[in-house]
């Protein structure tokens, strides 16, 4: 039996960690998983670190061009939206339209979300949302940048901010906070996660088995439980 190494962004971490035991039991293979920011994960793959199964967020041009993944092995796993969270038990505001979200953000005393500068894809996405809403400058005094989705949710749970934002898959794993819902699609495009096979893998069969498992029915069920949508 083989040990399969996997690297992935934090947005899919909870789902992957839930799926690994079932895969290991079914195949006898072991999986060693490493998680980081979306940008950091992609950078490690492009720089040539060896992982049997890299999971990255599009665009994937640089990943393919690096030669460190098998060309044409890309396969969609799931998409995840940036969502709004409030403290557990707090009233859930209207976020059904771009105008409602804009009004909510401008009325907030403080908001938290992951650090785009460190490669957090949810942070990069939400920076774009603020730009689309035309309130990036107005919001600057209210923003409390966090290290990762868990950090943003911790600030919210402690009452340091009244609104938290990150991928929904990261909100539902944290205590003391609740999902309000995803940001409207016209101001926030869900982020895709795709799997590859590494070009450095000595034995492709176990790696391919893991990728197939991560696209199967059990995986689809887990993705939905974790606030994600299977496929592209």
CATH architecture label of 82-182: 3-Layer(aba) Sandwich (3.40)
pLDDT digits (tens, 9 = 90+) for 120-129: 999 999 999 9
Q: What is the pLDDT of residue 1?
A: 81
Q: What is the pLDDT of residue 202?
A: 87
Report, as an integer, the average pLDDT of 196-224: 96
Residue 232 above 80 pLDDT?
no
Answer whether 0.75 is exceeded by the pTM. Answer: yes
**What are phi and psi for residue 159, nearest 5 degrees?**
85, 15
Plot region of 181 (φ>0 → left; ψ -120 to 50 → alpha; else → beta): left
Q: What does DSSP say about strands 3-9 and 30-36: parallel, antiparallel, or unpaired?
A: parallel
Residue 109 above 80 pLDDT?
yes
Give me the residue spans of the domains in the chain: 3-79+192-230, 82-182
Report, as an integer, the average pLDDT of 194-204: 94
The pair of three-digit structure tokens given for residue 206, joined into one six-digit string: 């176990």
Q: What is the pLDDT of residue 6?
A: 98
Residue 13 above 80 pLDDT?
yes
Burial environment of residue 112 by CB neighbours within 10 A (0 to 12, 13 to 18, 19 or more): buried
pLDDT digits (tens, 9 = 90+) for 171-185: 999 999 999 999 999
Report, as an integer, the average pLDDT of 195-219: 95
With cut-offs at 50, 70 and 90, classify the pLDDT of residue 165.
Answer: very high
Q: What is the pLDDT of residue 189?
A: 95
With cut-offs at 50, 70 and 90, classify the pLDDT of residue 154.
Answer: very high
The CATH code of the domain at 3-79+192-230 is 3.40.190.10
Mean pLDDT of the chain: 96
Whether 3-79+192-230 and 82-182 share one fold: the answer is: yes
For residue 182, give every residue at least 6 positions away whose Cβ sits within 8 Å of its Cβ, in sequence order, or none: 81, 82, 83, 168, 188, 190
pLDDT more than 90, % of the chain? 97
């Amino acid at each position: 039996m083989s040990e399969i190494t996997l690297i992935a962004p934090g947005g899919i971490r909870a789902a992957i960690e839930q799926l690994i035991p079932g895969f290991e039991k079914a195949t006898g293979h072991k999986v060693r998983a490493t998680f980081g920011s979306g940008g950091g994960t992609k950078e490690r793959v492009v720089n040539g670190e060896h992982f049997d199964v890299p999971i990255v967020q599009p665009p994937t041009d640089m990943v393919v061009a690096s030669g460190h993944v098998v060309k044409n092995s890309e396969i969609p796993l799931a998409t995840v939206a940036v969502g709004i969270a409030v403290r557990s038990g707090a009233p859930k505001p209207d976020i059904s339209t771009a105008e409602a979200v804009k009004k909510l953000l401008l009325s907030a005393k403080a908001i938290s979300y992951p650090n785009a500068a460190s490669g957090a894809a949810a942070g990069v996405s939400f920076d774009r949302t603020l730009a689309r809403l035309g309130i990036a400058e107005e919001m600057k005094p209210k923003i409390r940048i966090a290290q990762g989705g868990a950090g943003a949710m911790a600030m919210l749970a402690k009452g340091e901010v009244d609104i938290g934002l990150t991928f929904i898959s990261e909100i539902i794993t944290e205590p003391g906070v609740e999902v309000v819902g995803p940001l409207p699609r016209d101001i926030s495009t869900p982020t895709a996660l795709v799997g590859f096979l590494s070009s450095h893998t000595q034995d492709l069969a176990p790696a391919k088995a893991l990728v197939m498992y991560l696209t199967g029915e059990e995986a689809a069920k887990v993705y939905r439980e974790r606030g994600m949508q299977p496929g592209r």
